[in-house]
Chain A
């Protein structure tokens, strides 16, 4: 015979394996057939011989019902009714299946069904959106890579490499006629290597400097060191030392012209910064 009250007094009083208690709050019931999830007299599937729940499997909702008549047959205890895909029809189904049941169970079933459909809708919406793949980082690997990066940075000697590359380009004439260094240096270079040797790496797009040589329309011979614009780092801009070195080589007339150019440049730069 089913004595619900006796069962409840035992469950509530001493022990129920489905009962859990969060820290200071109420009791929860972990039974999969529980309608509300709380451990109450009216929500306990064990202590109520007539009970109903809604459960969802793979996106399909079912109504489970348990009656006293089947209490002796655990295998057939829960009757499973598949609910319609449409929300209103399913509610009607719940109503007609639980027609003479207590209001509490009916109400809670409908509430649970509503909640379930809402979260199913949300799942379907999210799967259409972008799903970020979270890739776990292994701490050891990250640490190793960081160290290797530091070592690689030291081995790279970036400043030297960049400077070497720029000097190479200067020697090969990619900056044609912008920089005119004293002839001695160039002679050394010309003796050492072939002039106009094609730079081997194809990925450098320096093969096209010809297109912009019309930048400055000044005679190449007279200009000594042309840095007409961008004197932002004027502190670093040291035209003085090289000109002082170059002075004895060039005829005096040219030196005078050079000073004129310099003042011209300054005024030009001033204009440029203003605009």
Chain B
């Protein structure tokens, strides 16, 4: 066996300089793979050791320690001209007069109408019920072949501020249309990875306190408007004693929705318990005005062939 060959070689050589066993010459596949794995692990260890040594030396000698950060997709992201920084005067002026300004000026409170496509399946119904519990001041409407274009004027007369439609395919919810009603934009999202509360391990009980909202990484101008749309569904004054938080986290154009109960264990540690449904949204189209898919004016349409060309280009 190769192991005995190995030992013989060692015994011959008094200086303990071992002639490297040629692993590729081992005929037994299992054994050969085993040896390769070991070699790789050893190499890795050596590499880490050397790195540590270098860092120590650099620190000791006083030169600047440059920590090498690995390249990630986020760090290599193609810079977008419409990236919005925190204090952008133009954006702020824009947003003071856009469709969601009414909410952010405290003039309107959100009142949401939630419905589905025709003949929803059981899973969609369950998701709707959970969303109804999750968003305060929501009414669930059974869509019996109603035309959205006819529903919208009636909803406007009853002072609804948002309309949410959950679309379904093959008994699974797969689309979400969010329309801000007093002539606000309509966003069509692809809904995926829906997990209901009973499918989440150790999920907690939802309470009725008004939740806080966290919006992460909505950096571009488009992301900003989408973020504002999502935030305008929630009531203004969150009840901090309820410790409920709803998060929309944008990563690489996927918006992850999570719903947690948090608790501050100390000034540096937070505990989170997940409640409620979890899903991901991907923006497909953003249309100015209320729902009108044929004649509406589209601000953003995801065109696969034009926009999905680069792995590092994102739009939200």
Contacts and interface: CB of A to CB of B under 8 A. Distances in A.
Interface of A: 129-130, 133, 138, 141, 145-146, 148-149, 151-153, 155-156, 158-159, 161-163, 165-167, 170, 174-175, 178-179, 181-182, 185-186, 189, 200-206, 208-209, 211-212, 215-216, 226-230, 232-233, 236-238, 241-242, 245
* 5 A-B pairs closest in CB distance: A200-B86, A185-B267, A156-B251, A181-B267, A152-B252
B249 A170 contact: no
B254 A203 contact: no
B263 A203 contact: no
Interface stretch (B18-26, B36-44, B127-135, B235-243): B235-243
Contacts of A189: 267
A204 B213 contact: yes
A22 B267 CA distance: 78
B74 A175 contact: no
Nearest to B72: A155
A193 to B, nearest CB: 13
A243 to B, nearest CB: 11
A155 B251 contact: yes
Interface in B217-255: 218, 224, 227-228, 231, 234, 236-243, 245, 247, 249, 251-254
26 contacts: A129-B145, A133-B293, A141-B304, A145-B190, A148-B252, A152-B256, A162-B247, A163-B270, A165-B216, A165-B247, A166-B214, A166-B245, A178-B240, A178-B241, A181-B264, A200-B86, A202-B95, A204-B215, A205-B231, A205-B238, A208-B106, A208-B236, A227-B241, A236-B263, A236-B273, A238-B265
Interface of B: 72-74, 86-87, 92, 95, 104, 106, 145, 147, 190, 192-193, 204-205, 207, 209, 212-216, 218, 224, 227-228, 231, 234, 236-243, 245, 247, 249, 251-254, 256, 258, 260-273, 280, 282, 293, 304, 308
A230 B86 contact: no
Contacts of B238: 205-206, 209, 212
A227 B237 CA distance: 18
A170 to B, nearest CB: 6
A233 B267 CA distance: 20
Contacts of B204: 232-233
A208 B106 CA distance: 10
Contacts of A238: 265
A121 to B, nearest CB: 19
Contacts of A170: 264, 267
Contacts of B209: 230
B270 A166 contact: yes
Contacts of B86: 200-201
A215 to B, nearest CB: 6
A71 to B, nearest CB: 52
A212 B278 CA distance: 28
A203 B249 contact: no
B254 A152 contact: yes
B245 to A, nearest CB: 7
Contact of B265 (A145, A200, A204, A242): A242
B147 A130 contact: yes
B239 to A, nearest CB: 6
A167 B245 CA distance: 13
B192 A146 contact: yes
Given A161-B216, A185-B268, 9 more contacts: A138-B304, A149-B282, A152-B251, A155-B72, A155-B252, A163-B272, A165-B247, A167-B268, A230-B241
Contacts of B224: 203
A236 B271 contact: yes
A167 B214 CA distance: 12
B213 A158 contact: no
Given A152-B254, A158-B247, A162-B260, A205 B234 contact: yes
Given A167-B270, A205-B104, A212 B265 contact: no
B72 to A, nearest CB: 7
